[in-house]
């Protein structure tokens, strides 16, 4: 997918969910901004990107905890920008494999 833009998304959960709120594989020019993600705990990552080029992740408000905000995978991933997010329960913005 190319040119996906997801703005001002609010996610509601009935119970704790450890799955990523967003997963993108083989994407280009992805923008995720203004998301509100509820409290959940024990997630490996809130967002997972695999072989993604040029992604911008901004103004994400995560109430819960996770190992990382964005997990980046794949040898073709590049140009991932993570800026101005509120993630007090997450110690690391980016995790790469």
Q: Is the pTM of this model over 0.85?
A: yes
DSSP letter, residue 41: -
- For 49-74, how does the pLDDT look when each residue is reduced to its tens digit (9 = 90+)? 999 999 999 999 999 899 999 999 99
73, two tokens:
């995978």
Span between the terminal Cα atoms of the chain, in Å: 22
Q: Is 53 helix (H, G, I), strand (E, B) or coil?
A: strand
**pLDDT confidence of 37, banded at 50, 70, 90?**
very high
Domain ranges of the chain: 5-96
């Amino acid at each position: 997918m190319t040119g996906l833009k997801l703005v001002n998304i609010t996610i509601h959960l009935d119970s704790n969910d450890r799955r990523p709120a967003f997963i993108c594989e083989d994407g280009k020019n992805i923008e995720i901004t203004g998301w509100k993600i509820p409290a959940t705990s024990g997630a490996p990552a809130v967002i997972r990107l695999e072989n993604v080029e040029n992604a911008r992740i901004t103004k994400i408000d995560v109430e819960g905890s996770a190992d990382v905000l964005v997990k980046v995978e794949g040898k073709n991933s590049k140009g991932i920008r993570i800026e101005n997010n509120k993630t007090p329960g997450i110690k690391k913005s980016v995790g790469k494999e």
